[in-house]
């Protein structure tokens, strides 16, 4: 069974809607760990639209499991990673205008810049994972890059509109996971996984870790409404 790591970005998204202090993603991370999460993931984006530098620093101090910093391969982010020292760094592509990470990292054509970048981060004792599409060439390039891990992008599988398309995407993920593992890379998977589509991916033997955010935070908001309303009624009635 793969480990579940929880991405807390969207707790920060709710907080940033008011630029206030609640809900605090640091508290959410602690609660996720108490519930059994074996890792916490935070994506510090260049535009700081959700997770803030302060969150990352506090998460570093409080996360008891493994803190995975998702980031773009930029000089600024490398400096932050080397300062904060997360347990793992996941390199993702990042576009300012995107709603979420849209595709996997382009490794094949960027090997020359990625190799020294990864070497520097791993040289500081932080293993690097590359978030890549289920593509043979990207996986082979990931191996050449020196990264120790890959995270296979499950977005196309999650967003497939027909069963046939979903089956095809699943087969690609399966083949990619097997290839990566055969090359000695450790394998994770994530993006768009939810309560309806996760099980098939979780059963892939080579997948050691699932990284899930939006669906868990969405469900937390809904299953928590009953209690939250009752708490407010009790105060109003008091």
Return the residues of window 2-61 that contact ligand PXP according to CB under 6 A: 7, 9, 43
Residue nearest to ligand PXP (CB): 213
Find where tokens 């990931």 sit.
Answer: 142
Cβ neighbours of residue 114 under 8 Å, at least 6 residues apart? 73, 91, 107, 130, 145, 147
What is the C-alpha separation between 162 and 165, in angstroms, rounded? 5
43 part of the active site = yes
Phi then psi for residue 178, to 5 deg, are: -65, -45
Of these residues, 10, 153, 191, 209, which one is catalytic? 191
Of these residues, 43, 50, 169, 206, which one is catalytic? 43
- The closest of 151, 90, 137, 153 to 117, measured between CA atoms, is 90
> Which class for 96: exposed (0-12), middle (13-18), buried (19 or more C-beta within 10 A)?
exposed
CB of 154 to ligand PXP, least distance (A): 8
Nearer to ligand PXP (CB atom), residue 62 or residue 215:
215
What track of x and - describes contact with ligand PXP for positions 186 through 225 (by CB under 6 A)? Answer: ----xxxx-----------------xxxxx----------
Return the residues of window 160-189 that contact ligand PXP according to CB under 6 A: none
214 part of the active site = no
Return the residues of window 79-108 that contact ligand PXP according to CB under 6 A: 90, 92, 100-101
3-state secondary structure of 135: coil
> Which class for 140: exposed (0-12), middle (13-18), buried (19 or more C-beta within 10 A)?
middle
Residues involved in catalysis: 43, 70, 191
Write out the residues near ligand PXP by the rule CB under 6 A: 7, 9, 43, 70, 90, 92, 100-101, 131, 151, 190-193, 211-215
């Amino acid at each position: 069974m793969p480990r579940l790591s929880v991405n807390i970005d969207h707790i920060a998204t709710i907080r940033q809607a008011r630029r206030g202090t609640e809900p605090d993603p640091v508290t959410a991370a602690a609660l996720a760990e108490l519930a059994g999460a074996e890792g916490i993931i935070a994506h510090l984006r260049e535009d700081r639209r959700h997770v803030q530098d302060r969150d990352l620093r506090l998460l570093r101090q409080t996360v008891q499991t493994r803190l995975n910093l998702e980031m773009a391969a930029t000089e600024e982010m490398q400096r932050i990673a080397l300062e904060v020292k997360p347990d793992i760094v996941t390199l993702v592509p990042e576009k300012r205008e995107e709603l979420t990470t849209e595709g996997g990292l382009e490794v094949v054509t960027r090997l020359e810049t990625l190799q020294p970048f990864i070497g520097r981060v791993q040289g500081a004792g932080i293993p690097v994972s590359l978030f890549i599409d289920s593509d043979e060439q990207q996986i082979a390039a990931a191996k050449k890059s020196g990264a120790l891990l890959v995270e296979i992008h499950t977005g196309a599988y999650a967003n497939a509109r027909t069963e046939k398309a979903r089956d095809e995407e699943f087969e690609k993920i399966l083949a990619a996971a097997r290839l990566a593992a055969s090359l000695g890379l450790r394998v994770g998977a994530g993006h768009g996984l939810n309560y309806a589509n996760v099980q098939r991916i979780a059963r892939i033997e080579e997948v050691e870790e699932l990284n899930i955010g939006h669906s868990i935070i969405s469900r937390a908001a809904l299953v928590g409404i009953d209690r939250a309303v009752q708490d407010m009624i009790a105060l109003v009635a008091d």
